[in-house]
Amino acid sequence: MAEPRKQLRLLEAPFVAAGPSGVAVRDRLKHLTPGDEEVLRLVGAYQGALASGDLKARCAAGHGHDNEAWAVRKRELTGRSSSRIAGAITKVTHDQYALARRCLLAHIQSLEAGIAMLRHRLSLPLGAKGSKRAPGGYRSKGEWFHKSRRLHLLEDRLTAARADWDSGRARVVRGGRRLLKTRHHLDAAHLTEDQWRRRWEAGRWFLTADGESGKRFGNETIRVTPDGQVSLKLPAPLASLANSKHGRYTLAGKVAFAYRGEEWRDRVEGNRAVAYRIHLDVDRGRWYLIASWTRPTVPTIPLATARAQGMIGVDTNADHFAAYQLDTHGNPVGDPHRFFYDLSGASTHRDAQVRHAITQLLHWAKQCGVRAIGMENLDFAAEKTREKHGRRKRFRQLISGMPTGRLRARLTAMAAEAGIAIVAVDAAYTSMWGNEHWRTPLTTAHRTMTRHDAASVAIGRRALGHSIRRRTAPPPQHRSDAAGHRTAQARPGVPGREGTRPPVTDRALDARHRTGTPRTRATSASNTVRDVRSTRTWVQDPLLHTV
């Protein structure tokens, strides 16, 4: 009895990713006096305490929070600071609470996926083999026992997480949970208690101000003039520290945004809203100012327009981008390209590596003359669970270390500035089908194709709207049965269907070599006249020599 064919999951249609809707630039606050730094510390610590209390009140309210409760919180903060500072604090509080709720939902989904996988593997016999879609049973009774205990542990965690979700509870740490846990492992982090304390205090400061259109230079709380002069509106309890009119403190240092400086200056001179945030890099001892503003969303071009001049298919890997150029018909052009990056080390180093690789990719795309890049719509949320991959620890670390979200945001923003669209495609089967249909045909003596290069071709063809398979059925008039049932593609069960077609007659070049038959005909004469050797006997005519 024939084995039933497996049903492939439905593929999502390709779409053009939306461009960025905001801009953020950063510059260093130079030449600050000790008095300036002391004022910034006092203001940040005071407003940070207000933000911590407001966040505590919001988390305690849970589902019972409404507009009236928000108005009460804002009035309380206004009396202790100002209405604009109170509005900025409550806005950040709501964003933190919403982010915590989204993270809790993702945690619940991860626990559910892990529990389902554990139950599946525990239900199988010991040593049962798995498939590409699902792993098999556990190897020994000991492993089965430990996994059964882990199942009960995850079920308890899921019960607690669902209870928090139903009650509206959110667990938020101002300053970062990772930094909080580092307090118990100072030796491993190579930090002293004083160094950790300075990081912890700086992470909990609040020096943020939202922009206001129509106000002077686009912000009343943190005001930056077009020439880079920075001044702060001090809270009411710290108004005695002011060195300018109207309770403001002007810093000695100035800023000059080298990147997007003209765009920022146009907004400031036009009194359009610009939000600012001041923070301290404790390790370097440097103060920075971040300016951000919204911009009109870059309109996405139609999918047909993006496909008009071909496509570049890009396969994202742990250490490089594998890219291949394709024309409008889905044919690979030229050789594959690889853009490497290193995701080890500090977060700043990883971010710089990703930006450098994306810059090289966009420059090559401009040289090729294409208007779009096809990328996988990656999301490894369901693949990171340790219950699915079990002992494959290195593979789990590999997929967990890929910054899919940040990479997607970086690429979308940088491509929009370069005038190149990003076409997101479903990532299902691209590596498997690309390796099956494109790796061998594109491999030559001077070109080495990898599995990732073949996957980039598959991604590009899917972004162009073509099927990944190379061979298709010819027109009916070109088939050997004259509009019959045969096609150029053999069925999956036919032996040798992917092999070379055998010669149709014995006149093939290697026919005698394969069959072992001797040559039956002498060497033919040369095609040129001067090389012809005649076999005729020539007789001299005496009449031709008589006079």
162-202 pLDDT, tens digit per residue, is 999 999 989 899 999 999 999 999 999 999 999 999 999 99
% of residues, the chain, pLDDT over 90: 49
Per-residue DSSP letter, 444: B
Strand 421-425 to 372-376 pairing: parallel
Q: How confident is the model at residue 210 (pLDDT cuts 50, 70, 90)?
A: very high
R_g of the chain, CA atoms, integer Å: 35
How do residues 109-127 score in pLDDT, each as one tens digit? 989 988 998 998 899 999 8
Q: pTM of whole model > 0.85?
A: no
- Which token pair is 488? 């150029």
Average pLDDT over residues 202-218: 93
pLDDT at 95: 93
Cα 33 to Cα 250: distance, rounded to the nearest angstrom: 11
Q: Which domains does the chain have, with CATH numbers?
A: 16-294 (no CATH), 303-464 (3.30.420.10)
Judge whether 433 and 468 are in contact, CB under 8 Å. yes
Cα 207 to Cα 280: distance, rounded to the nearest angstrom: 10
Cα 26 to Cα 292: distance, rounded to the nearest angstrom: 9
- Kindly report the three-state secondary structure assignment for every residue of 405-438: HHHHHHHHHHHHHHCCEEEEECCCCHHHHHHHHC
Residue 511: is its pLDDT beyond 70?
A: no
Judge whether 367 and 418 are in contact, CB under 8 Å. no
Judge whether 324 and 337 are in contact, CB under 8 Å. yes
Centroid of chain to Cα 178: 23
Residue 504: is its pLDDT beyond 60?
A: no
Strand 332-340 to 320-326 pairing: antiparallel
How do residues 239-258 score in pLDDT, each as one tens digit? 999 999 888 999 998 898 98
Q: How confident is the model at residue 346 (pLDDT cuts 50, 70, 90)?
A: confident
Query: Phi/psi at 103 (nearest 5 deg)?
Result: -65, -35
pLDDT at 416: 86
